[in-house]
A and B are shown apart, each in its own frame.
Chain A
Amino acid sequence: MTQESRWEPTLLGFLCRWCSYAGADLAGTSRRKYPANIRVVRVPCSGRVDPLFILKALRLGFDGVLVSGCHPGDCHYQTGNYYARRRMALTKRFLEYIGIEPQRIQASWVSASEGQKFAQVVTEVTKEVKEIGPNRLFTSERQGNGTKATR
């Protein structure tokens, strides 16, 4: 087996404290299986996620970033996820233009009762990122599977 075929992507997930994080919790307590590739950061709201976080994660060598929040209309703060949606749409399109694969930037709405959906989203995202391969965007200065931060 080559080094490449054993490669597993590392994803960074920003999960909203009220919906998606609870959804991830539910996935765990109901013993749903999903790939262990995701590292989770809990944020107060998907509206907290600055495009800078996404870019920094890619810069550090994460292979993909998932931002997940409440469904439209369900935001604990009424409107946070609507702002997040605008910001994410812009960021995704713009990063695509400069040459970053669109699969690396992902978003989802997962409610607190959707443990099943969370497991499914992580499975799909992991599969997609695995298909496009390791994040070599910024790697001209290093070799191997990313920096210390992502290992």
Chain B
Amino acid sequence: MEQKLRDEAKSLLEQGKVDYIIGFEPGSLKFTTTPLITGAQGDISRLVINPFIVNNLSVFLTEVKGRVGIVTKGCDSRSIVSLMQDNKIAREDVVILGIPCSGIIDLSKVEKLVGKSRDEIDDINRDDDRVVVTVNGSKKEFPVSETLFDNCLGCEFPTPQEYDILLGEPTLPPSDKYQAASLAKIKQLKAMPAQQRWKFWESEFDRCIRCYACRNICPACFCQRCFVEESEPQWLLPVPRWQENLMFQVMRNIHVAGRCTDCGECERACPMNIPLRSLTREMYGIVDELFHYKAGMDKDASPLLAAYEATDTGDFIR
């Protein structure tokens, strides 16, 4: 798959079909990758595909000018389609190099399982339904349910929904038995009484330092000017108090409703380890339940909140 990607990327650049390629290259740390944005054919050999290509690269599409070839997993392709629905990018300006994805390995889960840090681990490999970790020459196997990211376990569309070139055979979503693991945290929260839930979020957002990493990494957060930075009226104080932090995150979730594809980038970007996906995934669920809408499935559809149905639920209205 990696070689095919390099060949395709190279010919796209050679033929002038794209100005830039957005993909992944090996990161400076072990078992990481970092985004690579390049227009030089010489850089193409740096492109990689492995089970650690974590970033949702579609966030760069609104910033890179010209025609772009982009390496895309299932969830990312939906983010791209969602951007098209909002007229942020044009279909003809993007060449989507689709990767049928079988899930991204959560390094912190692996580190916890083997009790070693990344530098002490020799190798991590995906083998069908297991992940094989090599430490000091000895191999240990773990089921994917314990090693993949939570959002990958509940992935509905691992193969890109929209693509120009598909770099492999389409993959099937993980079996339903992993769904429970994917939604475990949310289920736990929902079982709490409302007051306790509020206390939970209070304690989580007490840590928030308002670095806005979650917003900046989110492809659905594309406002030119964010409401948190508005000063007239000043909706939020810039001080990182939990009240303001929680309000910020709640509003962000409402803004990305119908755009969020559960890619999980916000939670990964958070330096304070706030379980943001427990908010975004619940919003994703509410959108699906109330309006039978999934983000980024149809580039010609109207965005969720820019449309309505006469039959929309109104049972809460007096």
Contacts and interface: CB of A to CB of B under 8 A. Distances in A.
For B286, B290, B318, the residue with the greatest tally of chain A CB atoms inside 10 Å of its CB is B318
B252 to A, nearest CB: 11
B243 A59 contact: yes
A101 B194 contact: yes
Contacts of B310: 72, 82
Interface string A50-80: 0110011001000000000000100000010
B287 A85 contact: no
Contacts, number: 101
B318 A100 contact: no
Interface string B45-81: 0000000000000000000000000000000000000
Chain B's interface size range is 35 or more
Contacts of A108: 317-318
B318 A51 contact: no
A102 B290 CA distance: 16
Contact of B312 (A86, A125, A141): A86
Contacts of B246: 98
Contacts of A52: 227, 235, 251
Nearest to A108: B318
A100 B202 CA distance: 12
Interface in B232-283: 235, 241, 243, 246-247, 250-251, 253-254, 257, 279, 282-283
A94 B318 contact: no
A141 B318 CA distance: 34
A86 B305 CA distance: 7
A112 B145 CA distance: 57
B190 interface: yes
Interface of B is mostly: helix
Interface residues of A, number: 38
A106 interface: yes
Contact of B316 (A87, A88, A121): A88
Contacts of B235: 52, 56
Contacts of B195: 99
Contacts of A99: 194-201
A107 interface: yes
A72 B247 CA distance: 30
A139 to B, nearest CB: 9
A98 B279 contact: yes
B198 A59 contact: no
Contacts of B243: 59, 138, 140-141
For B190, B247, B291, the residue with the greatest tally of chain A CB atoms inside 10 Å of its CB is B247
B224 interface: no
Interface of A: 51-52, 55-56, 59, 72, 79, 82-83, 85-102, 106-109, 121, 124-125, 137-138, 140-141
13 contacts: A55-B250, A82-B310, A83-B308, A85-B317, A86-B305, A87-B305, A94-B250, A94-B282, A98-B198, A99-B195, A102-B316, A106-B318, A121-B318
